[in-house]
């Protein structure tokens, strides 16, 4: 914010500086802090990493605990088969794993393997879960054409199906606000829960969802760093690390977050089996979730489900750092604006009109 | 080693004391146990089905639990109003009362922590929040500050009275040089716990109703009214039912504290109301909802107006010396002031923060029976903890409970 010459593409400046430098003060040559950074730990040893000896001691402790747990489960379950033992082992390791944000790539794929195996053991079906990291020189952004949106809500349905949201409570990441013509952007008089034929006479439509702020207040307030901003600008949640205090929900000015008040229910045949750890994998009760710009799709070069589903083409998604992307064209050629800019949250979600 | 022996004896003696007593005492404890059991049953339902059994939704995501938590932090902080004059200003009057005040602080803090845990979606992964084992987002998240200050304050309020009682139990005098530094720290700490809790809300730019520089100071003023008001009532009860001597002078001094705090609180309320209603902006909608209702949604109206009525009535009555020095009127004033501030600093503060929502949606909140059950259970737990602590402390202070005295 202090940078007066800041343009939309400089959103990432702060971040790039952080990743480029190392904070040790040296501008040339190498320093230790970067190499130290590389060594990341999993589980409880993430924080017991003060010294190597302490860390390895803890590793041993964890290993012995695991063996102990295995022994307990073996001795306690005379009649149980190999499968339930494996299930118990997986549950144990999942319960005491670390924060995904701080995991190494191996640890990330290990937890993903455990989750896939666990699902297989439980349901006999195989899912495909990814732990793909953010790619370099990618910063995702989104633009919404208010003139085009007709309020069909296809985006909402596609989102629910793609992201395995709870059907029982009808959780929806996207809200479409039906506004009256001639009243401006008056959210107070808008209806975000309409059930009638669209487009309704004398109305226009505006969609909101998580704006993936570059300066996200929800990330700051989380007491356990269960939510964070990824390198490609996505604000994500580690569902297994979230303690469910809902402080982030109170901090979000855009109504972008949803909570699992009870156990999410999705009919087995409707589950999207193409999943990402940070995205649409199945959630449990008592954790926060939100739009991830369909991380399981966007990191594979596809558009989010809402963009693909929109019949009017009012949704535009792309890489803000790619000068040839559509989103860049929109930002350069349209009069764009963002919601509640005065709060300093720097959303990466722009609105425009034809 | 002798110390351990004394400690063992103390624990044994106090268990003996808290399990024996008059019929009234047993009835009281049985009643609290019953309410706690009901609360536990309600909580077990909540654990099983999730927070969907509460009235909270995505629109109003904090409710009765966080409201009570916020209020009780204030009650805990108010123990300082007794600690400061007794230990630091060497005012004799408060000396007998201070242990009771610290007992209330301990009970209030335990209730605070219980309310926070009850509000969590995933209590089984709460270890993520333990510094050193989990990932502690300090100093960015105000919630981590709150975890630190609340537990620190709990530690102070357990250790200081424990040291004093431990010495008295052996018939020795407690050394000032040992407990005075702790007492001094706890004075500042008490202000910190309430200010930090206010910052929890004050720091959210998303909620204009909370994002208000007066929130912290007003928290303090209301806490220093409600907390000592509760202490006065408790002292009055203790005075009637036990041999513990509490002089009229102590109650009168405490009443003075309550009065001044209540007056300051009222001034701040006027300032807040002026700001919200003289030149109302988009950001005043929550206040409109709270005081007048919006679009026919008026769930909080009876509560807040009751609160304001009681608040004004109590403050006016307390202001007159003649009325305040009449103990019957004083106890009545303290009671209504306590209720008024419980409403005002509880759901009168938390719920309107979410209404209207970020996009103007007005969805009201009504707590469910299960939520109320858990809340009552936690209050009963607080009363239970306090009864145990106070009973032991009083027996030691009156000299009935001594090491090796049979």
Question: Which tens digits make up the pLDDT trace of A56-114?
Answer: 555 556 666 666 665 565 555 555 688 889 999 999 999 999 999 999 999 999 999 99
Mean pLDDT of B263-273: 95
Domain membership flag for residue B403:
no
How many CB atoms are closer than 10 A to CB A22?
Answer: 17
Q: B270 is written with which tokens?
A: 């006027």
pLDDT grade, residue B83 (50/70/90)? Answer: confident
| CB-closest option in A221, A254, A262 to B50 | A262
Mean pLDDT of A174-193: 92
The model's pLDDT over B381-392, given as tens digits with 9 standing for 90+, comes to 999 999 999 999
Q: What pTM, to 2 d.p., does this model score?
A: 0.89
CA–CA gap between residue B262 and residue B81 (Å, rounded)? 14
Q: Please choose, from the candidates A275, A272, A283, the residue with its C-alpha nearest in 3D space to the C-alpha of residue A171.
A: A283
Tracing tokens 């401006």 back to the chain, one arrives at: A184
Q: A261 and B143: CB-CB below 8 Å?
A: no
How many CB atoms are closer than 10 A to CB B9?
Answer: 15
Domain count, chain B: 1
CA–CA gap between residue B253 and residue B352 (Å, rounded)? 35
Q: B129 and A261: CB-CB below 8 Å?
A: no
Closest chain A C-alpha to B18 CA, distance in angstroms: 36
| CB-closest option in B143, B207, B357 to A245 | B143
**Bigger pLDDT: B258 vs B95:** B258
Interface mutation vs chain A, best among B43, B48, B57, B61, most A CBs within 10 Å = B61
Predicted interface score ipTM higher than 0.90: yes
The lowest-confidence range among A224-238, A276-290, B66-80 is B66-80
- Topology adopted by domain A134-354: Alpha-Beta Plaits (3.30.70)
CA–CA gap between residue B393 and residue B110 (Å, rounded)? 18
Residue B85 belongs to domain with CATH number? 1.20.1630.10
Domain membership flag for residue B272:
yes
CA–CA gap between residue A243 and residue B128 (Å, rounded)? 7
Q: What are the residue ranges spanned by the domains of chain A?
A: 39-130, 134-354
Show which of residues 21-40 on chain A sit within 8 Å of chain B, judged by CB atoms.
Answer: none
Domain membership flag for residue B85:
yes
Domain membership flag for residue B406:
no
CB pairs under 8 A between A and B: 146
User: What secondary structure, in 3-state letters, does chain B show?
Assistant: CHHHHHHHHHHHHHHHHHHCCCHHHHHHHHHHHHHHHHHHHHHHHHHHHCHHHCCCCCCCCCCHHHHHHHHHHHHHHCCHHHHHHHHHCCCHHHHHHHHHHHHHHHHHHHHHHHHHHHHCCCHHHHHHHCCCCCCCCCCCCHHHHHHHHHHHHHHHHHHHHHHHHHHHHCCCCCCHHHHHHHHHHHHHHHHHHHHHHHHHHHCCCCCCCCCCCCHHHHHHHHHHHHHHHHHHHHHHHHHHHCCCCCCHHHHHHHHHHHHHHHHHHHHHHHHHHHHHHHCCCHHHHHHHHHHHCECCECCCHHHHHHHHHHHHHHHHHHHCHHHHCCHHHHHHHHHHHHHHHHHHHCHHHHHHHCCCCCCCCCCCCCCCHHHHHHHHHHHHHHHHHHHHHHHHHHHHHCCCCCCCCC
Burial of B331 (0-12, 13-18, 19+ CB in 10 A): middle
pLDDT score, position A33: 43
pLDDT grade, residue B211 (50/70/90)? Answer: very high
Asked whether A234 and A212 are in contact (CB, 8 A), the reply is yes
Give yes or no for residue A10 having a pLDDT over 70: no
Q: B13 is written with which tokens?
A: 């003696």
Interface mutation vs chain B, best among A62, A168, A224, most B CBs within 10 Å = A224
- Please give the backbone phi and psi of residue A233, each rounded to the nearest 5 degrees, phi first: 90, -5
Q: Please choose, from the candidates B103, B116, B350, the residue with its C-alpha nearest in 3D space to the C-alpha of residue B230.
A: B103
pLDDT score, position B401: 86
Q: Please choose, from the candidates A244, A266, A78, the residue with its C-alpha nearest in 3D space to the C-alpha of residue B123.
A: A244
Q: Please choose, from the candidates A225, A178, A219, A222, the residue with its C-alpha nearest in 3D space to the C-alpha of residue A202.
A: A178
Domain membership flag for residue B372:
yes
pLDDT score, position A295: 96
pLDDT grade, residue A27 (50/70/90)? Answer: very low
* Burial A78-109, CB ≥16 within 10 A → b, else e: eeeeeeeeebbbbebbeebbbbbbbbeeebbe
pLDDT grade, residue A284 (50/70/90)? Answer: very high
- Asked if A287 reaches chain B (Cβ–Cβ under 8 Å), the answer is yes
Domain that holds residue B388: 2-397
Closest chain B C-alpha to A259 CA, distance in angstroms: 6
The lowest-confidence range among A170-179, B74-83, B228-237, B394-403 is B74-83
pLDDT score, position A22: 42
Q: B15 is written with which tokens?
A: 């268990």
Strand partners, A185: none
Domain membership flag for residue B328:
yes
Q: A244 and B121: CB-CB below 8 Å?
A: yes
| CB-closest option in B120, B140, B354 to A244 | B120
pLDDT grade, residue B80 (50/70/90)? Answer: confident
């Amino acid at each position: 914010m202090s940078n007066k010459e800041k343009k939309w593409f400089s959103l990432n400046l702060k971040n790039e500086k952080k990743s480029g430098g190392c904070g040790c003060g040296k501008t040339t040559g190498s320093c230790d802090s970067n190499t130290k950074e590389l060594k990341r730990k999993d589980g409880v040893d993430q924080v017991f990493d003060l010294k190597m000896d302490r860390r390895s001691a803890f590793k041993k402790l964890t290993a012995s605990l695991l063996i102990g747990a295995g022994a307990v489960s073996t001795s306690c379950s005379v009649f149980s088969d190999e499968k339930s033992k494996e299930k118990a082992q997986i549950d144990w390791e999942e319960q005491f794993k670390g924060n995904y944000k701080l995991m190494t790539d191996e640890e990330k794929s290990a937890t993903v393997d455990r989750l896939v195996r666990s699902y297989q053991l439980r349901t006999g079906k195989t899912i495909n879960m990814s732990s793909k990291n953010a790619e370099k020189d990618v910063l995702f952004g989104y633009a919404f054409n208010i003139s085009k949106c007709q309020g069909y809500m296809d985006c909402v349905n596609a989102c629910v199906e793609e992201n395995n949201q709870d059907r029982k409570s009808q959780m929806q990441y996207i809200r479409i606000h039906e506004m009256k013509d001639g009243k401006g952007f008056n959210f107070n008089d808008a209806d975000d829960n309409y059930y009638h034929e669209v487009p309704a006479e004398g109305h226009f439509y505006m969609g909101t969802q998580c704006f993936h702020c570059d300066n996200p207040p929800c990330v700051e307030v989380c007491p356990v760093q269960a939510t964070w901003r990824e390198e490609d600008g996505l604000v994500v949640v580690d569902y297994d690390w979230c303690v469910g205090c809902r402080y982030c929900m109170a901090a979000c000015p855009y109504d972008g977050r949803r909570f699992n008040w009870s156990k999410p229910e999705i009919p087995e045949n409707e589950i999207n089996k193409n999943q990402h750890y940070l995205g649409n994998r199945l959630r449990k009760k008592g954790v926060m979730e939100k739009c991830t710009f369909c991380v399981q799709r966007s990191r594979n070069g596809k558009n989010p489900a809402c963009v693909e589903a929109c019949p009017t083409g009012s949704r535009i998604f792309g890489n803000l750092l790619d000068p040839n992307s559509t989103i860049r064209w929109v930002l350069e050629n349209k009069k764009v604006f963002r919601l509640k800019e005065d709060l300093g949250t720097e959303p990466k979600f722009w609105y425009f009109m034809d | 080693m002798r110390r351990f022996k004394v400690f063992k004896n103390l624990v044994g003696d106090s268990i003996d004391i808290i399990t024996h007593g008059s019929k009234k005492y047993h009835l009281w404890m049985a009643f609290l146990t019953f309410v706690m059991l009901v609360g536990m049953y309600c909580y077990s339902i909540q654990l099983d089905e999730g927070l969907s059994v509460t009235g909270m939704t995505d629109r109003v995501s904090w409710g009765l639990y966080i409201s009570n938590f916020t209020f009780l932090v204030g009650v805990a902080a108010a123990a300082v109003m007794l600690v400061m004059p007794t230990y630091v200003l060497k005012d004799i009057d408060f000396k007998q009362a201070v242990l009771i005040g610290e007992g209330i602080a301990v009970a209030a803090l335990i209730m605070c922590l219980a309310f926070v845990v009850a509000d969590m979606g995933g209590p089984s992964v709460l270890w993520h929040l333990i510094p050193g084992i989990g990932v502690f987002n300090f100093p960015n998240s105000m919630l981590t500050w709150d975890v630190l200050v609340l537990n620190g304050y709990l530690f102070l309020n357990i250790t200081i009275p424990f040291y004093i009682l431990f010495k008295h139990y052996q018939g020795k005098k407690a050394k000032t040089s040992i407990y005075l530094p702790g007492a001094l720290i706890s004075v500042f700490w008490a202000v910190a716990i309430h200010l930090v809790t206010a910052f929890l809300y004050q720091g959210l730019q998303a909620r204009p109703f909370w994002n208000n520089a007066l929130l912290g100071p007003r928290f303090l003023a209301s806490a220093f009214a409600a907390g000592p008001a509760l202490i006065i009532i408790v002292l009055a009860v203790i005075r009637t039912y036990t041999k513990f001597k509490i002089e009229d002078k102590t109650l009168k001094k405490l009443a003075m504290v309550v009065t001044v705090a209540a007056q300051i609180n009222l001034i701040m309320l006027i300032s807040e109301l002026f700001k919200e209603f003289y030149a109302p902006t988009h950001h005043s909608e929550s206040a409109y909802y709270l005081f007048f209702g919006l679009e026919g949604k008026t769930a909080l109206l009876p509560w807040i107006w009751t609160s304001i009525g009681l608040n004004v009535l109590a403050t006016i009555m307390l202001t007159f010396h003649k009325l305040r020095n009449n103990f019957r009127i004083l106890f009545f004033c303290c009671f209504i002031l306590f209720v008024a501030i419980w409403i005002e600093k509880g759901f009168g503060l938390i719920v309107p923060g979410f209404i209207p929502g970020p996009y103007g949606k007005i969805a009201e909140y009504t707590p469910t029976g299960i939520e109320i059950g858990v809340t009552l259970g936690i209050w009963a737990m607080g009363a239970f903890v306090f009864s145990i602590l106070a009973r032991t402390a009083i027996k030691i202070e009156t000299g009935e409970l001594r090491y090796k005295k049979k």
